[in-house]
Chain A
Amino acid sequence: MKLTVWTYEGPPHVGAMRVATAMKGLHYVLHAPQGDTYADLLFTMIERRDHRPPVSYTTFQARDLGSDTATLFKASCQDAYDRFKPEAIIVGASCTAELIQDDPGGLSSSMNLPVPVIPLELPSYQRKENFGASETFYEVCRALAKPCDRTPEVTCNILGPTALGFRHRDDVVELSSILESLGISVNVVAPLDATPEDIGNIPAAHFNVMLYPETCETACRWLEREFKQPFTKVVPIGVGATRDFIAEVKQIAGLPDTPVDESRLRLPWYSRSVDSTYLTGKRVFIFGDGTHAMAAARIAKDEMGFEVVGLGCYNREYARPVRALAKELGIEALISDDYLEVESTIEALQPEMILGTQMERHIGKRLGIPCAVISAPVHVQDFPARFSPQVGWEGANVIFDTWVHPLVMGLEEHLLHMFREDFEFHDDAGASHHGSHVPAAQHKREEAPTELLVKDGVTWLADAEKELRKIPFFVRGKARRNTEKFAADQGLDAISIETLYEAKAHYAR
């Protein structure tokens, strides 16, 4: 038993729903009590889908438990077939139905429905949403992909995008255009918008693009074994990764190494332009799913000039590569799905910026640290009306804008340093281009602190603490942390103004 306040991932059957809802002509019969229908709203509200997810829930009740939930399952299965006439059906159990052990797979196969019925075994008490999506997509491929001739020209499949994915819709568009610029057309995109028939044609492509390992690595590996289809390992998020991805594609497809059109890419110049100098060495904490967190770490370090002070992911399946990357960066990876643990890590590290999920956005709000969102779990804000991919050239441009937006900008930063006490242009007001601008009067601080600040046995003397408060908010956390560490290292038990500036000189970069 584990106490959970907020979760990064839903249960595995929600992952299966992400696959079913992404596809067309596939129906999911889910053995589940009535409350589990809440999952529909994830798709209809968060993603604003205009159709109900293609899911029939058996919605058994307590009184059914004594009688015959198996018959109820079969009736639901038949009703779903009769009403929706799907090309294929997936069947499975949610957490509660798993306990009553009705065996949806066995029951449905005994019904001789005239379409393929694919049973799912998703252990609800061990695994989570990403596993559910990955396993479902793999099972769907295994049941429906059939041997077929390769297309005459070089084609590939884009695998991994699902419903309720972080920018999946736009990533597919951007990636398709990059592949097209290389002269490679897309055979099948799956599961997003694919029919069961399309899944059957997956083996016709020359190779697979593994767009999101979280949802398709298992399927990619199986397709490689079964149909000798190689797959790409680089996820093209960021400038360097996109270039590496293109090189990998050229190599797999046997294309000549001719220059590629990068005219749409703006990140490199934006990052080199003098206005971006202020980004140098910003201390960032990165957290998300393994794939997006690792991509963000590379962009942060190599393409934005940040210092990565923390890196982690919530999905244990990708713990190993995340740990390896963290080690390369000289830091320790945080592998956890415990929201409170992530929060306390951020609090201890005092980064100047968080690149995280919606959860970290709220942590940032509470701690006064700016945050940009880089990964699922998704929120209605992660489905913007405008085109905003993460992959490819346009993805890099979008990421530059998204990450810079929460920060206080270059000259503004200097002005805040120079005129700290200005009544409306002051540090408590936050960045001036944000709505949360607060007039000074509402935030007036007491003139002298009434009690001394004590941290780990080190006491801030009143005048030093007053001086600390004059430091603008976006570097105050760092200054405090550095000074306390400096004092502790020097064996001091009190911090004076002198100590504050000694520490500043000591940590000068």
Chain B
Amino acid sequence: MNAFAPVAPPATGCGSAPVLKQRGQREVFCGLTSIVWLHRKIQDAFFLVVGSRTCAHLLQSAAGVMIFAEPRFGTAILEEKDLAGLADANEELDREVERLLARRPDIRQLFLVGSCPSEVIKLDLSRAAERLTQRFAPHTRVLNFTGSGIETTFTQGEDECLAAMVPVLPETDAEQLLMVGALPDVVEDQLTGMIEAMGVPVVRALPSRSADVEVGIGPNTKFIVAQPFLGATTGMLSGRGAQHIAAPFPFGEEGTTAWLRAVADAFNVSDEKFNEVTAAPRARARKAIAAHAERLAAKSVFFFPDSQLEIPLARFLTRECGMTAIEVGAPYIHRDLVGPDLDLLAEGPTISEGQDVDLQLDRCRAARPDLTVCGLGLANPLEAEGLATKWAIELVFTPVHGYEQAGDLAALFAKPLKRREGLAL
């Protein structure tokens, strides 16, 4: 492959393919689950869920291995008396926040996170956040977003969180690139490093690791999104006058190259410079993927909806690992964001949005894919039926973006197949 060759789209992509929409039981996490990685990423933030015992139990269970160092998240559990009178609920909330901030003076950003019960009883967390910001400024800023299961699915919690941060970003006229999405620090550093090496003046990340890193925004800000689920955040950033750089997502060698290329084009980076920066890591990524692609080639894959990463990942698996996609299910499809990936994904698979899990299981069983990407509630039951599965949640908890992780990403899908080949049982 020529290092300069632009990505060649298939004759017919999935951009205009019909989307199967069914309405039934959805087997997905709510947005609160995003807190599990957000609280590690933003190191001076605390996430206070205002919800029920179920919310606390979810966070504890979704963390999988419970992180028992006193975590930077907690749940203010609503009790009977909070439901009776909302005025009291506000007082109680203020009291709990005061106690929390007294115990954790290291907290600079406090997020009040709405839940299903807090939304049903219409507890106004935005007013609470305003009230508490006035009280604890300038040391601690209080923001709010929703992670409720009646409004958000899994990764949309991160979208809501980042969108809530946009209005309070200071104005700047500086020409800069904003990279949006919570990435593992190592990946963030790799990507910003390469972009800076191409000569892009200022590269910032949202969210930043701490409140001390000033991230501004303005008409000379261009932004690129690193995660496909950040639709609301994209809208808010555009609303502040920043310009969105559309691109396929940086999964695999091809995706990462296309993503970086879009940045390079937006900042008039020469082909020569682009190649100088990317040639070596591109070659490494191709080599690393090839080591696993052999096992994946000509195998079929079926995606249950989970994190909204499904479409870009299907593009990676089909184009770079030689797999065939049978169904690509996503909880939501933000066409503004995943459009470029859909165009690259060759026609053929069923594209589905939303879910009726029982009907989808019927389709999956009928198709008997070589690999099924699904949530933790479905994985073992499907394995027991003889299907190889990959837990989708690992894809959001593992560094998988960019060149240096492209091989790891392929390995995540290859491992279940390798294990089945290796076991003599």
Q: Is the CB of B78 within 8 A of A36?
A: no
Q: Which residues of B contact A125 (CB under 8 A)?
A: 52, 78-80, 82-83
Q: Which residue of A lies closest to B83 (CB)?
A: A125
In whole Å, how far is A367's beta carbon from the nearest beta carbon of chain B? 12
In whole Å, how far is B55's beta carbon from the nearest beta carbon of chain A? 8
The CA of A45 and the CA of B70, in the complex, are separated in Å by 24
Task: Say if the beta carbon of B60 comes within 8 Å of chain A.
Answer: yes
Question: Assuming the A-B contacts A1-B77, A33-B30, A34-B30, are A95 and B53 also in contact, with contact meaning beta carbons closer than 8 angstroms in the complex?
Answer: yes
Q: Is the CB of B378 within 8 A of A52?
A: yes
Q: Is the CB of A62 within 8 A of B380?
A: no
| Among A7, A42, A51, A96, contact of B116 (Cβ-Cβ < 8 Å) | A96
In whole Å, how far is B414's beta carbon from the nearest beta carbon of chain A? 22
Q: Is the CB of A14 within 8 A of B71?
A: no
Q: Which residue of A lies closest to B151 (CB)?
A: A62
In whole Å, how far is A135's beta carbon from the nearest beta carbon of chain B? 15
Q: Is the CB of B62 within 8 A of A38?
A: yes
Q: Which residues of B contact A33 (CB under 8 A)?
A: 30, 116, 148-150
The CA of A416 and the CA of B89, in the complex, are separated in Å by 55
Q: Which residues of A contact B78 (CB under 8 A)?
A: 1, 125
Q: Is the CB of B149 within 8 A of A35?
A: yes
Interface string of A98-125 (1 = CB under 8 A from B): 0110000000000000000000000111
In whole Å, how far is A377's beta carbon from the nearest beta carbon of chain B? 9
Question: Assuming the A-B contacts A37-B28, A40-B27, A125-B52, are A362 and B150 also in contact, with contact meaning beta carbons closer than 8 angstroms in the complex?
Answer: no
In whole Å, how far is A82's beta carbon from the nearest beta carbon of chain B? 10
Q: Which residues of B contact A76 (CB under 8 A)?
A: 25
Task: Say if the beta carbon of B239 comes within 8 Å of chain A.
Answer: no
Q: Is the CB of B80 within 8 A of A36?
A: no
Task: Say if the beta carbon of B376 comes within 8 Å of chain A.
Answer: yes
Q: Is the CB of B92 within 8 A of A1?
A: yes
Q: Which residues of B contact A94 (CB under 8 A)?
A: 54
Question: Assuming the A-B contacts A1-B92, A62-B150, A83-B358, are A7 and B376 also in contact, with contact meaning beta carbons closer than 8 angstroms in the complex?
Answer: no
Task: Say if the beta carbon of A385 comes within 8 Å of chain B.
Answer: no
In whole Å, how far is B97's beta carbon from the nearest beta carbon of chain A? 9
Q: Which residues of A contact B5 (CB under 8 A)?
A: none
Q: How many residues on chain A are close to B (CB under 8 Å)?
A: 59
Q: Which residues of B contact A1 (CB under 8 A)?
A: 50, 76-79, 82, 89, 92-93, 95-96
Q: Which residues of B contact A272 (CB under 8 A)?
A: none
In whole Å, how far is B315's beta carbon from the nearest beta carbon of chain A? 26
In whole Å, how far is B308's beta carbon from the nearest beta carbon of chain A? 14
The CA of A40 and the CA of B375, in the complex, are separated in Å by 10
Task: Say if the beta carbon of A11 comes within 8 Å of chain B.
Answer: yes
Interface size class of B (residues with CB under 8 A): 35 or more
Q: Which of A53-61, A142-150, A197-205 contacts B (4 or more CB under 8 A)?
A: A53-61
Q: Is the CB of B121 within 8 A of A124?
A: no
**Which residues in chain B, 43-62, are within 8 Å of chain A measured between CB atoms?**
48, 50, 52-54, 56-58, 60-62
Task: Say if the beta carbon of B66 comes within 8 Å of chain A.
Answer: yes
Q: Is the CB of B120 within 8 A of A100?
A: yes
Q: Which residues of B contact A83 (CB under 8 A)?
A: 358
Task: Say if the beta carbon of B420 comes within 8 Å of chain A.
Answer: no
Q: Is the CB of A6 within 8 A of B68?
A: yes
Task: Say if the beta carbon of B29 comes within 8 Å of chain A.
Answer: yes
Q: Which residue of B lies closest to A72 (CB)?
A: B23
Q: Which residue of B lies closest to A126 (CB)?
A: B80
Q: Which residues of A contact B150 (CB under 8 A)?
A: 33-34, 60-62, 64-65, 96
Q: Which residues of A contact B105 (CB under 8 A)?
A: none
Q: Which residues of B contact A128 (CB under 8 A)?
A: 53
Question: Assuming the A-B contacts A1-B77, A96-B150, are A358 and B58 also in contact, with contact meaning beta carbons closer than 8 angstroms in the complex?
Answer: no
| Among A39, A44, A45, A59, contact of B25 (Cβ-Cβ < 8 Å) | A59
The CA of A340 and the CA of B104, in the complex, are separated in Å by 14
Q: Is the CB of A10 within 8 A of B120?
A: no
The CA of A123 and the CA of B80, in the complex, are separated in Å by 9
The CA of A365 and the CA of B66, in the complex, are separated in Å by 13
Q: Which residue of B lies closest to A343 (CB)?
A: B70
Task: Say if the beta carbon of A3 comes within 8 Å of chain B.
Answer: yes
In whole Å, how far is A339's beta carbon from the nearest beta carbon of chain B? 9
Q: Which residue of A lies closest to B95 (CB)?
A: A1
Task: Say if the beta carbon of B75 comes within 8 Å of chain A.
Answer: yes
Which of A36, A65, A96, A379 counts the most chain B CB atoms within 10 A?
A96
Q: Which residues of B contact A40 (CB under 8 A)?
A: 27, 376-378
Task: Say if the beta carbon of B1 comes within 8 Å of chain A.
Answer: no
Q: Which residues of A contact B100 (CB under 8 A)?
A: 3
Q: Is the CB of B381 within 8 A of A96?
A: no
Q: Is the CB of A124 within 8 A of B52?
A: yes
Q: Is the CB of B117 within 8 A of A99?
A: yes
Other contacts beyond A62-B150, A123-B80: 20, CB < 8 A: A1-B50, A1-B79, A3-B75, A33-B148, A35-B28, A36-B58, A37-B25, A37-B29, A38-B30, A40-B378, A41-B62, A45-B379, A62-B119, A79-B358, A83-B358, A95-B54, A96-B52, A96-B54, A96-B116, A125-B83
Q: Which 10 A-B pairs have the closest CB atoms?
A: A35-B30, A35-B149, A40-B377, A50-B384, A362-B68, A1-B92, A96-B116, A33-B149, A41-B376, A95-B52
> Can you report 15 A-B residue pairs in the complex whose CB atoms are below 8 A from each other?
A3-B48, A3-B74, A4-B56, A5-B70, A9-B53, A33-B149, A34-B153, A35-B58, A38-B61, A41-B376, A42-B61, A45-B64, A96-B54, A96-B120, A379-B66
